[in-house]
């Protein structure tokens, strides 16, 4: 069970492969964590910068008995027909 030069070289190569494999895996994990933090920061910036749209009040509509079009109940305007109940 002697240690020959060939066995020592193979052992050194295996140790180097394992060593660099761990270094590569830790580097990949660090990049993954950095990307995860950056994406979270972008989402937070987008959430804080998002401006809510203008709030529009709902209006009741009234159907015209003559032409069938809908007009606002509080400011009904005529449709242009002579028999329109909502004249200007």
Split at pLDDT 50, 70, 90, the class of 54 is: confident
CA 88 to chain centre: 48
pLDDT tens, residue by residue, 18-44 = 999 999 999 999 999 999 999 999 999
Alpha carbon distances (Å) from 46 to 4, 33, 38, 51, 83: 63, 20, 12, 10, 53
Res 51: pLDDT: 73
Rounded-to-integer distance, Cα 82 and Cα 39, Å? 62
Three-state secondary structure call for residue 61: strand
Res 74: pLDDT: 74
């Amino acid at each position: 069970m002697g240690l020959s030069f060939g066995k020592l070289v193979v052992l050194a190569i295996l140790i180097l492969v394992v060593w660099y494999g761990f270094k590569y895996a830790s580097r990949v994990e660090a990049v993954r964590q950095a990307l995860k933090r950056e994406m979270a920061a972008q989402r937070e910036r987008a959430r804080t910068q998002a401006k809510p749209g203008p709030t529009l009040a709902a209006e009741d509509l009234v159907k015209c008995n003559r032409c069938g079009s809908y007009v606002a109940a509080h400011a009904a305007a005529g449709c242009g027909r002579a028999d329109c109940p909502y004249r200007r």
